């Protein structure tokens, strides 16, 4: 299977403990250049705000990466469409496409809509008791761990996250329905956009050679929209491993052939750390749980800690992150490649996208290089 399935990279431009955003941005550009030379297919950047990642101005960083590379596709994973108007997104990507035509992936996510929907339907007072019902036990599906779900809805009313969403929008702003926003973006790119029967052309943007992608973590609207619009879909195993199979099934069930795709095209994500041996990799990945805990506790992604100096998480904190730490792919190159093969086989992925964070940037570069060599990229 390695060599037959492309590998791509998702980067968050993480800020390392003791470092700063400027350094992280420079390292993202350096990483993009490295993975292009190693044969990875895409380099995607995530959008997060008011936390210790430096990719908040995602389209700006995409432009910098595109300018520093030559062939690799560059894109968003994903633009939080509830925080941007469709026209601003298309104009930004159209501007980059003007100088780097045919290399852009416009990934769209509905994080802001999910929070808005949740806060409309469930008050803060009720959020603490909101659950998915009876706990679902771990499953092993043909060798792939599907852990007990984490109730991510509770994060939407965490004060810091709520404040961040509010600060990123105009007061009283109401994000559009996700399906409508996707339709508007496609119309703007295709040159058929109109408001009240008045045709409006995105300049730049109309006619840009930009591929639209949908990112999702469940069987909900994102998977349904991706399938119904005949768009490629990214299922986030690294974010929500418990729901990846239902997301994949929902996408495939909803798929309708389009001008973009005649059949479903599925990418699945995984968080990996690769080193020359299992023990070294496990040590380098040992503060991943701390980083996830900073997110899950509602504080937002914190600077990534040094495994040489960080104290282990206590048992109570470990419980909050077990689904993520147990589904991180950590080890020697052959061990990680074998687990990625399992992920691809069970999900039927056409492509895998990996994200890898370590405290030492050289270890991060090495992780991508060792995996590329084991996978047979060229």
**In a structure prediction context, what are the per-residue pLDDT tens digits for the chain, which is 378 residues long?**
445 899 999 999 999 999 999 999 999 999 999 999 999 999 999 999 999 999 999 999 999 999 999 999 999 999 999 999 999 999 999 999 999 999 999 999 997 555 555 444 444 434 443 444 456 789 999 999 999 998 876 676 778 778 887 888 888 888 889 999 999 999 999 999 999 999 999 999 999 999 999 999 999 999 999 999 999 999 999 999 999 999 999 999 999 999 999 999 999 999 999 999 999 999 999 999 999 999 999 889 999 999 999 999 999 999 999 999 999 999 999 999 999 999 999 999 999 999 999 999 999 999 999 999 999 998
Residue 166 is predicted with a pLDDT of 84
- Burial grade of 150 (CB within 10 A; 0-12, 13-18, 19 or more): buried
What pLDDT was estimated at residue 129? 39
What domain range is 71 assigned to?
7-285+329-375
In a domain, 304, yes or no: no
**Among 186, 106, 182, 117, CA closest to 156:** 117
Question: Three-class SS of residue 305?
Answer: coil
* Inside any domain, residue 316: no
In a domain, 315, yes or no: no
Spatial separation of the C-alpha atoms in residues 119 and 117, rounded to whole Å? 6
Question: Distance between CA 279 and CA 276 in Å, rounded?
Answer: 9
133: tokens are 């019902």
The dihedral over CA atoms of 80, 82, 83, 86, expressed in degrees to the nearest 10, equals 90
Total structural domains in the chain? 1
Q: What's the token pair of residue 363?
A: 């270890």
**CATH no. for residue 44?**
3.20.20.30
Is 222 inside any structural domain? yes
Three-state secondary structure string covering 30-81: HHHHHHHHHCCCEEEECCCCCCCECCCCHHHHHHHHHHHCCCCEEEECCEEH
Q: And the tokens for 350? A: 């056409």
Instruction: Give a yes or no: residue 180 inside a domain.
Output: yes
Start-to-end CA span in the chain (Å)? 15
Percentages (nearest 5) of helix, strand, coil residues in the chain: 45, 15, 40
Residue 307 lies in a domain: no
Residues whose CB is less than 8 angstroms from the CB of residue 309 and which lie 6 or more positions away in sequence, other chains included: none
The pLDDT of residue 112: 59
**Predicted local distance difference test score (pLDDT) of residue 120:** 47
Judge whether 296 lies within some domain.
no
- Residue 176 belongs to a domain: yes
Q: What is the pLDDT of residue 121?
A: 45
- Rounded to whole angstroms, the Cα distance separating 114 from 220 reads 10
In terms of DSSP bridges, do strands 104-109 and 73-76 run parallel, antiparallel, or are they unpaired?
A: parallel
């Amino acid at each position: 299977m390695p060599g037959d399935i492309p590998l791509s990279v998702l980067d968050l431009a993480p800020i390392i403990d003791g470092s700063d955003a400027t350094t992280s941005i420079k390292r993202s550009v350096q990483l993009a250049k490295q993975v292009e030379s190693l044969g990875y297919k895409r380099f995607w950047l995530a959008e997060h705000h008011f936390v210790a990642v430096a990719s908040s101005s995602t389209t700006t960083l995409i432009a910098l990466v595109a300018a520093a590379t030559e062939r690799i596709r560059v894109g968003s994973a994903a633009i939080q469409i509830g925080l941007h108007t469709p026209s601003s997104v298309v104009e930004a990507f159209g501007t980059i496409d003007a100088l780097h035509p045919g290399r852009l992936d416009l990934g769209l996510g509905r994080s802001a809509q999910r929070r808005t929907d949740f806060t409309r339907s469930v008050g803060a007072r009720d959020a603490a008791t909101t659950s998915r019902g009876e706990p679902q036990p771990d499953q092993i599906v043909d060798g792939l761990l599907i852990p007990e779900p984490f109730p991510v809805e509770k994060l939407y009313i965490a004060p810091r996250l709520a404040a961040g969403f509010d600060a990123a929008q105009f007061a009283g702003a109401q994000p559009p329905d996700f399906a409508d926003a996707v339709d508007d973006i496609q119309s703007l790119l295709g040159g058929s956009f109109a408001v009240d029967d008045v045709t409006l052309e995105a300049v730049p943007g109309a006619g840009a050679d930009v591929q639209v992608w949908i990112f999702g973590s469940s069987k909900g609207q994102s998977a349904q929209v991706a399938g119904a619009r005949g768009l490629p879909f990214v299922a986030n195993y690294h974010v929500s491993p418990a729901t990846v199979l239902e997301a994949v099934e929902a996408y495939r069930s909803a798929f309708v052939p389009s001008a973009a795709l005649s059949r479903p095209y599925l990418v699945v994500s995984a968080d990996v750390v690769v080193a020359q041996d299992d023990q070294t990799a496990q040590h380098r990945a040992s503060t991943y749980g701390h980083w996830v805990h900073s997110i899950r506790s509602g504080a937002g992604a914190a600077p990534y800690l040094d495994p040489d100096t960080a104290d282990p998480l206590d048992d109570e904190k470990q419980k909050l992150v077990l689904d993520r730490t147990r589904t991180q792919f950590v080890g020697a190159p052959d061990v990680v490649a074998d687990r990625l093969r399992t992920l691809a086989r069970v999900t039927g992925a056409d492509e895998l996208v990996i994200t890898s964070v370590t405290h030492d940037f050289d270890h991060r570069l090495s992780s991508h290089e060792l995996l590329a060599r084991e996978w047979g990229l060229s």
